[in-house]
Structure 1
Amino acid sequence: MKISVLGASGQTGLYLVSQALEQGHEVKALVRDVNKITIQHENLKVVEANIFSQESLAEHFQGQDAVMSCLGFPYKMFSSISEYTDSMKAIVGAMRQTEVNRIVVMTSWYTDTSTAQNSSFFVRNFLIPLIKSVLTNMFEMEQYLEKECPDLNWTVVRPPGLQNVPVTDKEILTHEGYFVPDEKGYPCTNTVSRADVARFMLSTLNDETWSRKIVAMCCK
């Protein structure tokens, strides 16, 4: 499969690119700085692109089979952000222009921050307030895909806190909600390996189970 990866130079994006290449995909990494990708592979092409420009993205989406996004943007303590929705509108426009139908996007647990009421004290009282601007804009992006993109085959993957550890063979748990609950309805973990998030994202490419759905995931 020919895959365009956005956020390819980020920590999760690098895992995604590496695993996609290992699985035999042809990967086009769209980045702001091509020097940040040090991976060398015959099936990897690294290109500079403006993620907020439909025209720039369309140039690189042409002939691709799918788009995968691990884009991340910094939080703001005292103001809102719009980069998630702004970039997604450009991405969707470019996909429609080039007739690319499949997209897999990473967001986070608790994009509706009210759903974090049963999370740990630290998450509920420190982490959520700190990154609320990010979660709120992620939620707006999810809503945009749900309401405005019925013509696209999209999947949104929600992981918990991300750890920079190697990929595992642990069972992946999923739930159509804002987090993965345990048997009592509480969040079953706080963290997951970035590499395992990449593993799951790639597994959804040809799996209709999560077509036009938002899925929370973690590892058992």
Structure 2
Amino acid sequence: MKIAVIGATRGIGLEVVKQALEDDHDVTALVRDPDRMPVRHPRLHLVQGDARDPESVATAVQGQDVVCDCLGTKNVFARTVLFSTCAQNLARALRPEQLLIAVTGIGTGDSRGHGTFLYDHVVLPLVLGRIYADKERQERIIRDHIERWIIVRPGILTNGPRTGRYRALVDLHGVRGGRISRADVADFVLSQAKSPTFIGKTPLLIS
């Protein structure tokens, strides 16, 4: 399988790259600086560019079976259009048969209000508010303009190991918070890349 990863140099994106290569997939990673990619492999192809640039995104996704959007940002307090701009570029570049798996987070869409009290009332509005405003725009663009998509909403992220033990929930009744490792999020992303069962859905991932 040919898999493109956007946001590939760290976090969930890097885990997706590593696990995809372990599973013998061909991986194309869109990276701003190739020197920041800690993985080298014969089946890893690096495309230097920016997720905000339409031509970079189009080049990275061309000929791919699955595209994984795992973008993140270190500057949590600044206003951003990174996520929505990338989604717009993907909407223009993706062919109808290509599958997009986009990782957003708990607090978007109908997952809002299903975190812990501290997360819902302090962290999300006061720390992550600007990021999540753009993640909301990102999700709307994906739902409205991309044919085949899965939006993955992880709970609170940890650096724990890949366990394969987690829940993917679309019915959030009674759900309050939950954690999951970045490695397990990547495990789920790749499981859906191989056998998609959540197309057009927004599963919440928690251990």
Match of 1:95 in 2: 94
Distance apart, 1:61 and its partner CA: 2.2
1:68-87 alpha-carbon deviations (Å, 9 max, x no partner): 1110133336xx43221111
Match of 2:203 in 1: 215
Distance apart, 1:52 and its partner CA: 1.4
Tell me if the contact between 1:51 and 1:57 (Cα under 8 Å) persists in the aligned partners: yes
Q: Distance in 1 between matches of 2:31 and 2:97?
A: 19
The within-5 A match list for 1:110-129 is 110-112=107-109, 115-116=112-113, 119-129=115-125
The within-5 A match list for 1:130-145 is 130-145=127-142
1:176 aligns with 2:170: yes
1:146 aligns with 2:140: no
Distance apart, 1:66 and its partner CA: 1.4
The within-5 A match list for 1:2-13 is 2-13=2-13
Match of 2:14 in 1: 14
Tell me if the contact between 2:116 and 2:177 (Cα under 8 Å) persists in the aligned partners: no
1:8-38 alpha-carbon deviations (Å, 9 max, x no partner): 0021111110000111100011111111112
Q: Distance in 2 between matches of 1:11 and 1:174?
A: 20
Q: Secondary structure at the match of 1:76?
A: coil
Tell me if the contact between 1:88 and 1:141 (Cα under 8 Å) persists in the aligned partners: yes
Q: Secondary structure at the match of 1:124?
A: helix
Tell me if the contact between 1:10 and 1:70 (Cα under 8 Å) persists in the aligned partners: no
Q: Which has the larger radius of gyration?
A: 1
1:76 aligns with 2:65: no
1:203 aligns with 2:191: yes
Change (3 A) 1:113 1:60: closer
Q: Secondary structure at the match of 2:140?
A: helix
Letter in 2 for 1:94: A
Q: Secondary structure at the match of 1:55?
A: helix
Q: Which of 153, 164, 175 is the equivalent residue of 1:158?
A: 153
Q: Distance in 1 between matches of 2:70 and 2:64?
A: 17
TM-score (norm 1): 0.85
RMSD (Å), alpha carbons: 2.0
Which deviates more from structure 2 when the two are superposed, residues 133-142 or residues 18-27?
133-142
1:126-185 alpha-carbon deviations (Å, 9 max, x no partner): 211210111221122111222222xx2111000011111221132x212225xx55xxx1
The within-5 A match list for 1:2-81 is 2-73=2-73, 74-76=75-77, 80-81=79-80
Q: Distance in 1 between matches of 2:77 and 2:157?
A: 19
Distance apart, 1:114 and its partner CA: 8.4
Tell me if the contact between 1:5 and 1:69 (Cα under 8 Å) persists in the aligned partners: yes
Distance apart, 1:188 and its partner CA: 5.0
Distance apart, 1:209 and its partner CA: 1.9
**Equivalent pairs, count:** 205
Gaps of 5+ in 2: none
Letter in 2 for 1:91: L
Tell me the percent identity.
30
Gaps of 5+ in 1: none
Q: Distance in 2 between matches of 1:29 and 1:100?
A: 20
